[in-house]
């Protein structure tokens, strides 16, 4: 089991469970299950490089967890969101658990631009996180 503290991941990113980045990097928090993923795995949840692009005329920096799911420093407390939005992945997962269809979510959150492909990626990442957590606990 991981405890609070810093974890150095290939000397690229320093992440504290439920804490803050250190080493002069921007400060943001990362959920515990992101740390349990292994780099290089399909849908891996730790990205080693901060990507910066222009979005709506403003710089937008994020760590990619996939094509649609990112962790953006300073956005939603560093929790995973859909790229370019403040729509947190856990909100969509909770809606699916409550029986909402992918199509209903796309319709209700049409202003965010979320797609069924983005929802499928979020489900895939959540499944990988659960699988990795189970393997870590069983080990």
pTM of the model: 0.66
Q: Using an 8 Å Cβ cutoff, are 73 and 30 in contact?
A: no
The verdict on residue 1 lying in a domain is no
Contact 71, 21 (CB under 8 A): no
88-118: pLDDT as tens digits: 999 999 999 999 999 999 999 999 999 999 9
Q: How far apart are CA 18 and CA 34, in angstroms?
A: 11
Task: Provide the residue range defining the domain that includes 96.
Answer: 6-138
At 75 the pLDDT is 93
Q: What is the CATH number of the domain that holds 128?
A: 1.10.10.10
Total domains in the fold of the chain? 1
11-61 tens-digit pLDDT: 223 333 333 333 333 333 444 344 433 333 433 445 568 999 998 899 999
């Amino acid at each position: 089991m991981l405890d609070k503290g810093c974890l150095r991941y290939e000397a690229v990113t320093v992440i504290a469970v439920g804490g803050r980045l250190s080493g002069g990097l921007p400060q943001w928090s990362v959920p515990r299950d992101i740390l349990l993923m292994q780099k290089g795995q399909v849908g891996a949840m730790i990205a080693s490089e901060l990507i910066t692009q222009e979005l709506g005329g403003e710089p937008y920096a994020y760590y990619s967890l996939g094509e649609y799911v990112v962790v953006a420093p300073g956005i939603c407390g560093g929790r995973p969101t859909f790229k370019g939005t403040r729509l947190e992945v856990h909100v969509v997962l909770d809606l699916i658990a409550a029986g909402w269809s992918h199509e209903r979510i796309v319709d209700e959150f049409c202003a965010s631009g979320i797609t069924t492909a983005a929802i499928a990626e979020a489900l895939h990442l959540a499944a990988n996180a659960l699988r990795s957590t189970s393997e870590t606990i069983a080990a």
